[in-house]
Chains A and B, each alone.
Chain A
Amino acid sequence: MSTTETSTGTGADGAAEALSTAPREDGGSTGDAPNLPKLGVTGWLRWFWRQLTSMRVALLLLFLLSLAAIPGSLVPQEGSDPVKVSEFLKNHTSLGPIYTKLGLFHVYSSVWFSAVYILLFISLAGCIIPRSWQFVGQLRSQPPHAPRKLDRMPAYATWRTDAAPEEVLASARETLRARRYRTAPGGDSVAAEKGYLREAGNLIFHIALFGLLIAFAVGTLYKSDGNKLVVTGGGFTNNQTQYDDLRHGAFFEPDNMAPFGFTLNAFHATYEESGPQKGTPRSYAADVTYFGPDGKSHQRTIHVNDPLNVAGNKVYLTSHGYSMVVTVRDGQGNVAYSGPVPFLPLDGNVTSQGVVKVPDAVGKDGKRDQLGFAGLFTPTTVIDPVNGPHSVFPALERPALFITGYHGDLGMDSGLAQNVYTLDTTNKNLKQFTDDKGNPVRKLMVPGDTWTLPNGAGSITFNRIDQWANFEVVHQPGNSLALGSAVCMLLGLAGSLFIQRRRVWVRARRTDDGRTLVELAGLGRSESPKVAEELAVLVSAVHAKAPTAAEEPQESQPDSLSDGDHSDKEQS
């Protein structure tokens, strides 16, 4: 460095301070006396508060937050994958209970994770509030007066001119104003400051973090999220009882569910027809007619990435499959069941499984004889001698239904909830239909086929194949607050990182030889060469109005270097 004094950091001078509202750290390079806590409860509390809201603790808490988030990505989580959690508990009998106690299966709602972020947000509040006041104070007051020794500032320029000091100052102030600096006159100098948006951006960013937290909390507490399987032609109305399953937050109120509904008119799927990824789904589309709270109905097609938005709810298309439309007649020849039966896919080629339960069937003898069928459906059928029938393509190219039948008691009166997709074949009162030799009868059916059951027990007709689609209905308030906060965060961050807050001072003083000594100095807070570049522009503007006095005795010029790339290297 060519300047002789050793640099003690830009904060050394009184006027240079408060270029930011960042809390000052004890023991920092500014060399303040450390603030030792005074004894006494309030003293300690104040000390604790100051620690909590210091940057160093904020740093520590941030670091802890990222550490605390890790286990949740490695251990299965209750919220996203309960099946894996129970698997884990089964496989790790000793670790499992410990993990449970530590809350490792619900990390993001565990006590310790909450503790870290709550402390962080308290620290944040304790940081933002004083900083905001301080910033308001800075906005209302004038830029601080020029420090005594301008040549100690990170960027400095000086020359002598014949123009009067008042003229120089007036023109400097004008120049600075034209460049949207806030200026304040002060005796033989002008003080100017610019880039308040940096501080504003920083505060907005940190405040927006609160917005995000609130949005997140509201979303979690009021959320409802349920599934509904709808067969083509079938419908759904938004009512707790209509859902196949419904999860919700603590403050969810079933009475406040928005009134809307829809009917599934048709479902379309396309698949990769050839190549190594043959059978990979390429597009899904569900055509629906829906009505909102106003009762008017509309047409819409729901795609995978494109949910239906109605009455503050979103309806997502999550999966699909085939349903078998069957007609079952009982031993009396009456239609005991007729309609679509959804089958659940087992693999990517939609080999599907399902059951038909006919509780109201009456036998030949007029006594109750319930009927049940278990089926395996393959949309593009291949019968493999080893693996049996399976599907090789998800679309309906060679559909077939393999079905076995049971009669007797389906066990539906036992009071226990039954899965509609499985038959309880362990039930002794449920007998399988067998052939003459006593082997179970398995029937291959294609649409249009009718299977007449043995012993006049009735018949089942496979009318046609329909599709079903599963919809996830999500109601999560607070999304727009979250998005708004995120946008504010982004804008604030950009302001905070890309805008430089800086001060410029211009001093013009008459010297003994009757000339005017002009000094310009610039100070920025962050790491950027811009301050020097900007000062150079200002210097040239002021210099144009107050040129260097012509017959000035030449001063020795040790540094004959020109140019900006050096300031690029040296300036921080």
Chain B
Amino acid sequence: MTIAAGVNESLASISNYLVYSAITVYTLAFLAHIAEWTFGSRSRVARTARAVTESAAAPAAPAVRVARRGGGTTVLERPQVVTRDGSEDRGAIDGPGAAGGSEQGDLYGRIAISLTVLAWLLHFGGVVARALSVQRAPWGNMYEFSTTLGLVAVGLYLLLLALGKNVRWVGLFLTTTVLLDLGLAVTVLYADSDQLVPALHSYWLWIHVSCAIICGAAFHLGALATFLYLFRDGYEVRQAQGRVGRLDSMLERLPAAATLDKFAYRINAAIFPLWTFTIIAGSIWAESAWGRYWGWDPTETWSFITWVAYACYLHARATAGWKGRKAAYLCLIAFGCFLFNYYCVNIFIVGKHSYAGL
């Protein structure tokens, strides 16, 4: 077993400075997003732009161009793949995004994203410095777990942006939740840099907890999309009935409910096997640390509940009559279970998992 390495105090305090700076910059990004949404809703252009997008998207027979062969003089007609959507969506189209076509709004949106990138880099530095200061994985207690989870969540978002996916709409909501997460981390959950108790000395800590963090971050994004889906879905129903709601000027700029729903489903379905693996890895670790792979410890129980809830969600998606809102509620319940496990079980219910330092 490794003999305890000391704690590098200066790196530890650098880490704290970096995390605080990241919080500051995230706050600026949050404000820039607010500006983006505000200008977007004021903008007359928004409506026009929306009309434009609408007509551009209207011929919904997207074609996959097939490369032309040879360089003959005759113009060959290229066969195109015409797709039809088999799902029962209303044919609502994606909104134009937070800026709603307003140039100023768009500028603020770009500023917000740049600030998010900067904040993320600071955040990343903070987590790395913390890891270096104790020379171990930076997730030995709840403070470290929270900061790393926020880092991964924003990282996923930026990655999707970089891949050219249409995820800008989540920016405001994500910066909000990440600020909440970091705020809780530095106030309530803060623990000084330190070594681990022997029970946490294991490479399973790397595997199990890092997977849990990735799953948490992805589920977080899925839940945000689902949450917005519920609002947007309500908006589309109102639109169909010719009614108007208070948040409509905001909701009309979000992607279509079907898009949000699909986004959430893809993330959740893609990450579910990893969550399964996280639990299996945890059981293997429990088996080697405590002598049983499953003991209905509160944390184990709640990760099982979370797992079953997500399985429910996946079943619901495959079952006629449960798609849409009902499945969305299941998704939020499932993410609620994850959060409950993380905050409530860790803090208020004593089990074998209670983290060092809290």
Contacts and interface: CB of A to CB of B under 8 A. Distances in A.
Interface of A: 1-3, 7, 9-10, 22, 25, 27-30, 55-56, 58-59, 62-63, 65-66, 69-70, 72-74, 77, 79-80, 107-108, 151-159, 216, 225, 270, 272, 275-277, 280-285, 303-307, 314, 316, 472, 474, 476, 479, 482-483, 486-487, 489-490, 493-494, 497-498, 518, 520, 522, 527, 532-533, 535-536, 539-540, 543-544, 547-548, 550-552, 554-555, 558-559, 561-567, 569-572
A136 to B, nearest CB: 21
Contacts of A533: 64
Contacts of B295: 79-80
Given A3-B61, A559-B59, A566-B62, A157 B81 contact: yes
B272 A493 contact: yes
Given A285-B1, A305-B289, A55 B319 contact: yes
Q: Main SS of chain B's interface residues?
A: loop
A383 B290 CA distance: 36
Interface in B270-290: 270, 272-273, 276-277, 280, 283-285, 287-290
A77 B311 CA distance: 26
Nearest to B65: A562
A283 B4 contact: yes
29 contacts: A2-B59, A3-B82, A7-B85, A25-B320, A59-B315, A62-B312, A66-B337, A69-B308, A73-B301, A74-B298, A74-B349, A79-B295, A108-B296, A154-B85, A272-B195, A280-B194, A283-B4, A285-B1, A304-B199, A305-B198, A486-B283, A535-B64, A540-B67, A551-B74, A552-B77, A559-B61, A559-B63, A563-B62, A571-B62
Given A10-B86, A66-B337, A493-B273, A316 B81 contact: no
Counting from the closest, the 3 A-B pairs by CB-CB distance are A566-B62, A28-B320, A2-B61
Interface stretch (B87-95, B179-187, B225-233): B87-95
Contacts of B345: 73
Interface in B172-192: 192
Interface stretch (B24-32, B239-247, B259-267): B259-267
Contact of B84 (A3, A27, A70): A3
A570 B85 contact: yes
Most buried by B among A72, A535, A540: A540
B119 to A, nearest CB: 29
Interface in B131-147: none
Contact of B198 (A284, A474, A540): A284
Interface in B210-248: none
Given A156-B81, A476-B292, A527-B87, A56 B319 contact: yes
A483 B198 contact: no
A532 B63 CA distance: 9
A550 B288 contact: no
Given A282-B4, A535-B81, 5 more contacts: A28-B320, A157-B64, A225-B291, A565-B62, A566-B62
B10 interface: no
B343 interface: no
Contact of B77 (A22, A55, A555, A570): A555
Interface residues of B, number: 91
B42 interface: no
A567 B81 CA distance: 9
Nearest to A1: B60
Contacts of A158: 79
A281 B288 CA distance: 19
A56 B318 CA distance: 10
Most buried by A among B66, B81, B292, B302: B81
Interface of B: 1-4, 7, 57, 59-67, 69, 72, 74, 76-89, 91, 94, 192, 194-195, 197-199, 201-202, 204, 258-259, 262, 265-266, 269-270, 272-273, 276-277, 280, 283-285, 287-298, 301-302, 304-305, 308-309, 311-312, 314-316, 318-322, 330, 337, 345, 349, 356
Given A72-B301, A154-B84, A539-B66, A497 B7 contact: no
A570 B315 CA distance: 23
B59 A561 contact: yes
A80 to B, nearest CB: 6
Contacts of A479: 287, 293
A156 B292 contact: no
Contact of B82 (A155, A283, A303, A472): A155
B64 A532 contact: yes
B289 A304 contact: yes
Contacts of A270: 3-4
A497 B272 contact: yes
A122 to B, nearest CB: 16
A303 B198 contact: yes
B321 A56 contact: yes
Most buried by B among A156, A216, A554: A156
Nearest to B294: A216
Contacts of A497: 269-270, 272-273, 314
B320 to A, nearest CB: 3
A67 B347 CA distance: 21
Contact of B64 (A69, A282, A564): A564
Contacts of B74: 550-551
A544 B305 CA distance: 53
A59 B322 contact: yes
A26 to B, nearest CB: 9
A567 B315 contact: no
A282 B83 CA distance: 61
Contact of B3 (A282, A472, A493, A555): A282
Contacts of B64: 157, 532-533, 535-536, 539, 563-564, 567
Contacts of B302: 73
B85 to A, nearest CB: 5
Contacts of B266: 527
Nearest to A568: B62
A544 B70 CA distance: 10
B86 A7 contact: yes
A562 B76 CA distance: 15
B76 A550 contact: yes
